[in-house]
Amino acid sequence: MKSKAPEQCQLCSLYYEAENFCAKLSGRELDELHARSRLVSIKRGQMLNDDVLERWPILAIDSGVLCLRNLLHDGRRTIAAFFLRGDILDMRAAENRRLGDLIALSPVSLCRLSPEVFDHILSVNPRARTVAWKSLSGQAYRALSHASDLAKKQALEKLASFVFECRRRQKGLNREHVEIPIRRRDLAEYLGMQPETVSRCFRDLEERAIIKVSDLSVIRILDLPALRRIANGDRVLQALGQVPDPVFKIVTKEA
């Protein structure tokens, strides 16, 4: 029988959600990690400074949304990545801390994990190691995919891809309703668009009966194949299945 977790851990999604890191720990490992870690709350807009990250470079998100934001010399802002409940961030490399600023996009609860205990657990606990590796490798995959979207896709295609990114990452079995975890302005920074363009794209998809916007944070997917084709780069008519079959011309040697 699994020993009882510390009271603070029992209220944390990192423990009570079965697929998260702390849920894979033994009672002894959990006690040791809890004793040498710190649970903190961060307000929306608050930044994690370098001094804190140097001391506490391993972060595990209990709730809320963190982002990695860059400020360009001309004042423009861009969001390179965002992190949700259950994600683990390893900021030990100085290069990682130079990628941008970690800023809360909503009220955030996170655990600053002891690097020493974290590394020891990974060395002896294969289930916890799998969870951590899945989180870190997923971040790398999403960064590559997002870079490709920004470089090649048009506005509507980028928004459709983002909906699928949220759909893949959300908890639970309901795949028809998708939670949009960030505000429209933050989403615009992430997709490299103006907020007005983001709103127009949502409205376009809704008018074509591909999605239904329940509120600013939840959408319902009405036509999954059409949305997927848009995300994969088809033009709007192709995505809606309204393009006629192509006409092929047979070219002979005589021609």
Token pair of 111, please? 């655990």
CA 126 from chain center: how many Å?
Answer: 24
Q: Which CATH class is domain 153-239?
A: mainly alpha
- CATH topology of 7-142 equal to that of 153-239? no
- Which range among 19-23, 45-49, 86-90, 242-246 shows the weakest confidence by mean pLDDT? 242-246
pLDDT confidence of residue 246: 39
CATH among 2.60.120.10, 3.10.350.10, 3.90.1170.40, 3.40.50.2000 for 7-142: 2.60.120.10
pLDDT confidence of residue 97: 59
Distances (CA, A) of 226 to 180, 187, 223: 19, 22, 6
pLDDT greater than 60 at residue 252? no
Spatial separation of the C-alpha atoms in residues 165 and 135, rounded to whole Å: 14
Percentage of the chain beyond pLDDT 90 is: 65
pLDDT greater than 60 at residue 249? no
pLDDT confidence of residue 5: 81
Spatial separation of the C-alpha atoms in residues 98 and 208, rounded to whole Å: 42
Amino acid at site 45? G
pLDDT confidence of residue 118: 97
Q: What tens digit of pLDDT does each residue of 67-103 get? A: 999 877 777 888 999 999 999 999 887 565 566 889 9
pLDDT confidence of residue 129: 96
pLDDT confidence of residue 198: 95
pLDDT confidence of residue 98: 66
pLDDT confidence of residue 52: 84
State phi, psi for 61 to the nearest 5 degrees: -90, 125
Interval 223-229 mean pLDDT = 95
pLDDT confidence of residue 204: 95
* Average predicted confidence (pLDDT) for the chain: 86
pLDDT confidence of residue 95: 62
Q: What tens digit of pLDDT does each residue of 161-196 get? A: 999 999 998 876 677 899 999 999 999 999 999 999
Confidence of residue 234 (pLDDT cuts 50, 70, 90): confident
Q: What tens digit of pLDDT does each residue of 13-42 get? A: 999 999 999 999 999 999 999 999 999 999
Domain boundaries, the chain: 7-142, 153-239
pLDDT greater than 70 at residue 125? yes
pLDDT greater than 70 at residue 212? yes
217, 180 Cβ separation under 8 angstroms: yes
Residues 6+ apart with CB under 8 A from 52: 112
pLDDT confidence of residue 241: 44
